[in-house]
Structure 1
């Protein structure tokens, strides 16, 4: 896991270069045929990448974007009505039957299907109208790291070309070097709290909510921690009641308009006696600061999850786990 996460900067640079033509073609199609809606399909880490995609697509293009309830197609046999829409199907293996069924149904319902997949020539690629390869290469650890980052980068690349956003294009060009810097950030200040934890919240908002969900998933599968992900807004609606003395809260906040709200919430948690860890400099001495690497605000969640992966690999070993072989899990999960 640690070695594969460290490969992310090089693979992102290679992916952006190799995918330039295919992403340009996909973006041109989307500009000429503005989707009526966007449907996102994914499971596990790919579903978390889908959260990032929803915020980017809807926020930058205005196209209504929604996750696909995969069982509607794979279990209940229904076809969504999405004439003139686009379906983004995200997968490392491209083999999960429910994901393939959902993409097939979306296509039958009138959607243009784009597969973002690491294994070219997979069943998902066969269904899709167009495939954007993730190009993460073999990933031996059960816990996805570089393939998740490759998914986020491919999504951002597509949105940058779709919207012809020069600032986002420049941010992507700078991303490989920033990922190197993010990988070297020292988040060991969080280790004592997380090593002793049994439960915690992971909190983010916007594109950072996808990173928070991914972090919570990795804490479950590699560290044996019961971690729940919430947005900074949703956590105030009920879950806040559980945050009391010594309750751990890991907050992943990027430097956009959500940052001030995250800092206010971190202080509110700290006032209750919680052990709060926040990416960046909170300005509140009660909150543990986790150093970050600055980038384009829409891309900073990618940098945050890269720094987190280094922490998670170390934490897994510190808690007596093997991060490469989580119990009861397989690399490819074929759900129906």
Structure 2
């Protein structure tokens, strides 16, 4: 793994940098604080298994839900679907959520559409679990079980540590629910793995994207939510139009845009999808695309530490990316803490 990257002048002074740098400590404290409550919830879920899982979130929190979907479906074999908040808040249609586990994910716990859907889910007979950073929020008051993210205040508009805290909370929930020791035992190593990821040098992508106007971010399986998060942060902090796709779905149309010089950032997972992603990277390079592949190992374009467990890879990818994105934002003349036209708390209906 490369030495710690040189940062853009002033990069360490941003709130985005300082808050993202706290993620490892946040996750360590969160895992300790939530161990007992999540063990109790997991025991109840094993005793009374839900028929399916529904998630409800927006923005970065919805990208965390994408990760949760992959995690729950691949480890528990339980169908997991994203509920559109607008179905309840705009169209007024009550979903048939009896016997479901309804997971609402939010930083503030205040958005009206999320509150309406959580209340409707509870009335329909679902068990409502809130993963929320503000533990005394209106969303928390509606939930049957509250899982605090313990991320602390975030001053940068761009969410960083709270996003990673959402992913670690989902990991801890699924590891307790699955009762499979490998994932649970590996969780203790997650904070140190995040610290190692923070020190990875992604300067090649930072320099290569300084003048870019568009790019694809590709992931698959548990890494799709990470690809979505990276694409959002490129737009939000760098003024860079980025679109996230599954490394499988990109072949169904979007590939037509990839030609000479087209930038593509690819997230390789240390699981059965990894070989296909690496083969796709080779194919895109053969077309002349500018490809940066994230992977563990010395030959990766964008290096990462080896993940203590394959399910951790998306967290390490995102943590390394946040440092690079902060510097890229400044290099492109933006303030990563204050994206234009955005507020820290977005309340939608």
Q: TM tier, shorter chain? A: over 0.9
Task: Give how far 1:147 is off.
Answer: 0.1
- Pairing partner for 1:270 from 285, 309, 312: 285
- Pairing partner for 1:217 from 224, 228, 232: 232
Count of residues paired in the alignment:
333
- Pairing partner for 2:306 from 282, 291, 294: 294
- Pairing partner for 2:341 from 322, 328, 335: 328
Q: Distance in 2 between matches of 1:262 and 1:294?
A: 17
Q: Which runs of 4+ in 1 moved over 3 A?
A: 281-284
2:89 aligned residue: 74
Task: Please state if 1:108 is matched with 2:123.
Answer: yes
Question: Deviation digits for residues 131-162 of structure 1, max 9, x if unmatched?
Answer: 00000000110000000000000000000000
Question: Deviation digits for residues 269-312 of structure 1, max 9, x if unmatched?
Answer: 1111000000026998xxx7101011110111101100010110
Task: Please state if 1:134 is matched with 2:149.
Answer: yes
Q: Distance in 1 between matches of 2:297 and 2:304?
A: 12
- Pairing partner for 1:56 from 71, 94, 100: 71
Contact 2:297–2:306 (Cα < 8 Å) also in 1: no
Task: Give how far 1:105 is off.
Answer: 1.3
Please state whether the residue corresponding to 1:280 is helix, strand or coil: strand
Q: Distance in 1 between matches of 2:306 and 2:114?
A: 35
Question: Deviation digits for residues 199-253 of structure 1, max 9, x if unmatched?
Answer: 0000000110000000000000000000000001100000000000100000111
TM-score (norm: length of structure 2): 0.94
Contact 2:215–2:263 (Cα < 8 Å) also in 1: yes
Contact 1:182–1:293 (Cα < 8 Å) also in 2: yes
Question: Deviation digits for residues 46-89 of structure 1, max 9, x if unmatched?
Answer: 00000000001111111110000111111111111121110000
Q: Distance in 2 between matches of 1:36 and 1:225?
A: 41
2:10 aligned residue: none
Task: Please state if 1:122 is matched with 2:122.
Answer: no
Is 293-302 or 139-148 further displaced after alignment? Answer: 293-302
- Unaligned runs of 5+ residues in structure 2 are 1-15
Contact 2:296–2:305 (Cα < 8 Å) also in 1: no
2:249 aligned residue: 234
Compared CA separation, residues 134 and 283, structure 1 to 2 (3 A): closer
- Pairing partner for 2:163 from 148, 159, 167: 148
Task: Please state if 1:194 is matched with 2:230.
Answer: no
2:177 aligned residue: 162
Please state whether the residue corresponding to 1:131 is helix, strand or coil: strand
2:37 aligned residue: 22
Q: Distance in 1 between matches of 2:95 and 2:208?
A: 45
Q: Distance in 2 between matches of 1:172 and 1:221?
A: 30
- Unaligned runs of 5+ residues in structure 1 are none
Task: Please state if 1:257 is matched with 2:269.
Answer: no
Q: Distance in 1 between matches of 2:109 and 2:32?
A: 22
Superposition CA RMSD, Å:
1.2
Q: Distance in 2 between matches of 1:213 and 1:179?
A: 19
